[in-house]
Structures are given as C-alpha cells and as structure tokens.
C-alpha cells in the first residue's frame, strides 16, 4: 500500500523517501514552469534573452514562497511547524537546490519557444537566433549580427562606441522572405540606422541572409569635418547682415581707427551678433579679442564644392583616394567596370583627368578619386591592392637559366618537365593557342648566356609574346 503524502511539506523529511521524492519532483516542475514563463514574458516585453540571475531568482523564489507560506499557515493554525528542525532545514535546502538546478532548463526552453512563436507572429528583431524549423517554414528571413569583436569599423568614418557595438551584437533582425539581396541590404541598413542610431553601415550579404561582412561608423558632427585643408573656423563678435545665410562669402572689416579689411571668409553660422567664419589659417592670427568688426557680404555665386560637401555629408556615399598597384587586378580595367563612381584619375606623371570616360583603363600607379558607398570603395581597395592579380600559369612561373633552356632544347620534355628520353621532336616546339611555346626555352627568363649558347629567335618568342 502506497503511503499518503502529507497535505503540507513542512513536515516532509528524508525519513520518508517516497514523500520526499514526490515533493522534490513537484518543486522542480513548479520551478521549471515559473522560470520558463518568466523567459517568455521577458522576451515579449524586452525583446531580449532573460538574464540567468533573473530566471534563477524566479525559479527559487516560487519554492521558497511556498515553503514559507505553508509554515506560516501551520503556525497560524496552532500546529507545531518542523521548519527549524535539522531534518526540515536539510530538506528545504535540498528543495531550493533542486529549484536552482532546473531553472536554466526552464529559461532556455521558454526563451526558445518565445523566439520561435514571436518570429512566426511578426516580431521584427530580438536577441539570439531562430530555430532551424522556423527558418525553414517561417515567413521571414533572419539576419543575425555577429559578436562585438567581429563588428568592424567603416574606414574614413568615426568609430562607434564599444557600448553601441555590444548593443548590436547578437541581434537577429527579421525581414520578409521574398526580398532580393539588394532590397534586403537596403532594409537592413535602414533598420540599423533608425533603431540603433548608427550613422553608416557597411554590409555584405549572402543569398540566404548570412552576413559575410559587417561594419558600422558614426556620422561626423560639427563644423570640423567640413573644413578644407588650410582652413579654420573663427567666431567673431560682429554685426552680420540680417539676410546673411551660411555659405555667403563675406569680408571682415575693422572700423577703428580707420576702415581696414582684415580677411575674407565664408559665413558658416550666425547667432545674434556672433558670426562663425571659415577663413584661411594664415588670416586667423589677424583677429583680436577686442572685437569691433563689420561684415560685408560679397555678391558671389554659391560655391559648387561647398554644396557638394553639404550634400555628401548627409548621404551614404563618401570620398576616397586609392592608388592602383602595378600587380593588381585593376590594371587595364575600364572605369565603367567598377562599382564605385570614379570622379577623377591622377596618372603617374601627375596629370589629373576629371570625370574620365567609361572606356578609360587604369594604368599602374594611377590614383583614383572615388565617390561611393563604403562597401563599393572597400571592394575597389581590395582589387587595387598589390598581389591580387591572378596567378600565372605554371609554365610561365617556372624560371630556368638560358643555358639550361638551350641544353634542354634537343631533349623533348613533357608538360611536367620530365625527360622522356625518346628523342621525339613533336613536343619540343608545340605552340599553344595564345602563341606561347610549351618547351623549356619558351618558359625561360632571359638571363646571362654562355658564348655559343644564345637562344634562337624562336626561343625568344615565348617571353616576347607575353
């Protein structure tokens, strides 16, 4: 006959193994359910994984709450509670330990269920990754941002803070499934900029939404990034015209003791009687702290470079200069074949060609002035780097002396260079379709030769044809 389980657990000890086992299993299941429910609620509200400490606290607290409530109920009813007996204390400690042991399981299970369910119901982003089942049958394409250590910095832009990278790390963003790679990239960049306050995003996406490259940068603020080399910004106490606007060219005059022009600059901002000017660095030392300046607006047309800089500052594109290395794949590549916009090309002799035609082909040591997105410029830099040219054929890369080439001309060799010893003349001078010969003489590098061993004209045709 199975003994009955006590109506309360305060009197349960290990003296009754059956009752103790049933009670511990009940506590474990209760802790599992509470920690799992907490993980689901936390994921729904904060869109992030519940911390381990919070889940553990929920799982242990529900067991401790039941033990305390049951003991107080017995004390209020006038019964003798066994809460402080050694057997009761030991059992309660074991019960709390069981609750602490099962809470990680409930936390993980609840979070996985919440992620998959919320992904199917239209959640846009969360921490963690989707299960394989939801990735297969779901209506979304999931893009998971890598860890903070793997998030790169966009060149030519201010790096984002480590806290911002930690906020982005591990986030999974959901997008409609039927998007092209370019549409997915555009929505991903827009989402990260809008939701996380990032200025620039550089990504490479695979067809399945996997991030192959991810880098972020912050948008430069202030007047400094808009100043040209050799220019500085100066704030003056002056009397600017009421219709003066940023971008106007102005002259700075002193009226005491006699009218005198001090400098010419560009008006960048006006605040009451204080004007901010961009002037030459040499003119900045001409101003004094006494003030008393007057501004005269010049009838000048808006500067094209100023307008271009203001537009570029708010766009996703940026400027960069890249030098084409002699052994890069960009040598002899047309301007129209690259993804970035080539604004100008500076040749090795210093000649600058603005807006080169699409048929222009890059020469070694050309400097290209580019306008484009960071990812396009990054690919251009990789192609322009040294050592990116395709490997030459094996027959062209092997070098032998001219003397060895002449000595081996009478002995036919196969493609691998092994002497067949037959004396067959067919393989010794066989020409390839591109005009190169496959014998050792054709692959030889011209070098010092012995008297009487000079290569013939036919032997020289291999290197010359290259």
238 neighbors 293 (Cβ within 8 angstroms): yes
Structural tokens at position 407: 């000595």
**Residue at a domain's end among 120, 147, 169:** 120
Q: Give the count of domains, the chain.
A: 4
Residues paired with 354 in a beta bridge: 344
Residue 70 is predicted with a pLDDT of 81
Nearest by Cα to 114 from 170, 36, 33, 51: 36
> CA 394, CA 303: separation in Å to the nearest integer?
56
> CA 430, CA 437: separation in Å to the nearest integer?
6
> Are residues 95 and 152 located together in one domain of the fold?
no
Which CATH number covers residue 241?
A: 2.40.30.270
429 neighbors 458 (Cβ within 8 angstroms): yes
Q: Is residue 415 in some structural domain?
A: no
Residue 100 is predicted with a pLDDT of 95
Consecutive H or E run containing 374: helix 374-384
> Are residues 65 and 112 located together in one domain of the fold?
yes
> Are residues 155 and 250 located together in one domain of the fold?
no
The alpha-helical segments, DSSP class H, found in 47-156 are 52-76, 86-120, 132-137
83 neighbors 91 (Cβ within 8 angstroms): no
Q: How does strand 249-254 pair with strand 211-217?
A: unpaired
> Are residues 113 and 24 located together in one domain of the fold?
yes
Q: Is residue 370 in some structural domain?
A: yes
> Are residues 330 and 265 located together in one domain of the fold?
no
> CA 285, CA 287: separation in Å to the nearest integer?
6
> Are residues 198 and 242 located together in one domain of the fold?
no
3 neighbors 15 (Cβ within 8 angstroms): no
Q: Is residue 4 in some structural domain?
A: no
> CA 217, CA 131: separation in Å to the nearest integer?
31
Would you mind telling me the total number of residues written for the chain in this entry? 466
Q: Is residue 110 in some structural domain?
A: yes
Helix axes 17-46, 52-76, angle to 10 degrees: 130
pLDDT in single tens digits along all 466 residues of the chain = 444 444 455 567 888 889 999 999 999 999 999 999 999 998 888 777 889 999 999 999 999 999 888 877 777 766 665 666 788 889 889 999 999 999 999 999 998 888 777 666 555 555 555 555 445 445 667 788 999 999 999 877 788 999 999 989 988 887 877 788 888 899 899 889 888 888 889 999 887 778 899 999 887 667 777 777 788 999 888 877 777 788 788 889 987 778 889 998 888 888 888 889 999 988 988 888 777 788 888 876 666 766 676 677 667 788 889 999 999 999 999 999 998 899 999 998 989 999 999 999 999 999 999 998 888 888 899 999 876 554 444 334 333 333 343 344 344 444 444 444 434 444 434 334 343 433 433 333 444 444 444 444 444 434 343 3
455 Rama sector, left if φ>0, alpha if ψ -120 to 50, beta otherwise: beta
Q: Is residue 39 in some structural domain?
A: yes
Q: Which residue has tokens 């001078």? A: 429
Residue 101 is predicted with a pLDDT of 95
Q: What is the pTM of this model?
A: 0.48
Structural tokens at position 335: 């301007």
Residue 372 is predicted with a pLDDT of 87
Q: Is residue 35 in some structural domain?
A: yes
Which CATH number covers residue 323?
A: 3.30.70.1450
Nearest by Cα to 420 from 396, 439, 448: 439
Residue 155: half-sphere exposure toward Cβ, Cα within 13 Å: 15
**Residue at a domain's end among 270, 301, 332:** 301
> Are residues 372 and 288 located together in one domain of the fold?
no
Give the range of the structural domain holding residue 364, as residue numbers without chain letter. 316-384
The alpha-helical segments, DSSP class H, found in 130-228 are 132-137, 162-168, 181-196
Q: Is residue 92 in some structural domain?
A: yes
> CA 110, CA 38: separation in Å to the nearest integer?
8
> Are residues 267 and 246 located together in one domain of the fold?
yes
List of residues 6+ apart from 171 with CB closer than 8 A? 125, 126, 127, 144, 145
Q: How does strand 293-297 pair with strand 318-323?
A: unpaired
> Are residues 347 and 264 located together in one domain of the fold?
no
Residues paired with 334 in a beta bridge: 361
Angle at 432 between CA 426 and CA 435, to 5 degrees: 120
> Are residues 105 and 158 located together in one domain of the fold?
no
Residue 210 is predicted with a pLDDT of 84
Q: Is residue 261 in some structural domain?
A: yes
**Residue at a domain's end among 251, 275, 301:** 301
> Are residues 116 and 137 located together in one domain of the fold?
no
> Are residues 99 and 133 located together in one domain of the fold?
no
């Amino acid at each position: 006959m199975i003994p009955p389980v006590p109506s309360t657990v305060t009197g349960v000890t290990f003296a009754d193994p059956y009752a103790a086992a049933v009670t511990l299993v009940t506590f474990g299941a209760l802790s599992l359910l509470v920690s799992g429910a907490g993980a689901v609620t936390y994921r729904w509200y904060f869109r992030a994984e519940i911390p381990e400490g919070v889940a553990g606290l929920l799982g242990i607290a529900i067991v401790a709450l039941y033990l305390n409530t049951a003991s107080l109920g017995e004390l209020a009813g006038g019964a003798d509670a066994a809460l402080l007996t050694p057997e009761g204390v030991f059992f309660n400690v074991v019960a709390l330990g069981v609750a602490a042991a099962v809470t990680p399981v409930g936390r993980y299970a609840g979070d996985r269920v919440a992620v998959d369910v919320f992904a199917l119901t239209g959640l846009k982003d969360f921490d963690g990754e989707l299960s394989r089942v939801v990735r297969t049958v779901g209506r979304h394409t999931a893009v998971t941002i890598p860890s903070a250590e793997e998030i790169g910095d966009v060149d030519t832009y201010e790096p984002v803070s480590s806290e911002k990278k930690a906020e982005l790390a591990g986030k999974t963003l959901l997008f409609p499934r039927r998007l092209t790679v370019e549409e997915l990239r555009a929505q991903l960049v827009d989402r990260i900029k809008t939701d996380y306050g990032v200025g620039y995003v550089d990504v490479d996406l695979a067809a399945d939404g996997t991030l192959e490259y991810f880098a972020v940068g912050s948008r430069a603020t202030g007047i400094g990034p808009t100043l040209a080399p050799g220019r500085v910004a100066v704030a003056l106490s002056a009397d600017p015209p009421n219709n003066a606007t940023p971008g106007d060219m102005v002259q700075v005059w002193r009226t005491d003791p006699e009218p005198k022009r001090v400098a010419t600059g560009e008006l960048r901002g006006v605040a009451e009687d204080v004007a901010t000017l961009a002037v030459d660095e040499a003119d900045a030392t001409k101003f004094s702290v006494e003030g008393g300046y007057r501004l005269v607006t010049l009838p000048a047309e808006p500067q094209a470079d100023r307008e271009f800089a203001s537009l570029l500052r708010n766009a996703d594109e940026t400027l960069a200069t890249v030098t084409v290395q002699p052994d890069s794949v960009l040598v002899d590549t047309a301007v129209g074949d690259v993804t970035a916009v080539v604004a100008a090309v500076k040749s090795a002799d210093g000649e600058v060609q603005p807006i080169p035609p699409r048929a222009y082909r890059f020469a070694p040591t050309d400097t290209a002035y580019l306008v484009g997105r960071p990812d396009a410029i990054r690919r251009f830099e990789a192609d322009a780097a040294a050592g990116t040219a395709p490997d030459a054929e094996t027959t062209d890369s092997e070098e032998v002396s001219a003397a060895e080439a002449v000595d081996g001309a009478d002995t036919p060799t196969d493609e691998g260079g092994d002497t067949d010893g037959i004396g067959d003349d067919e393989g010794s001078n066989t020409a390839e379709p591109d005009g190169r010969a496959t014998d050792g003489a054709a692959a030889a590098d011209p070098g010092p030769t012995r008297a009487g061993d000079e290569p013939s004209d036919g032997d020289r045709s291999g290197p010359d044809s290259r």
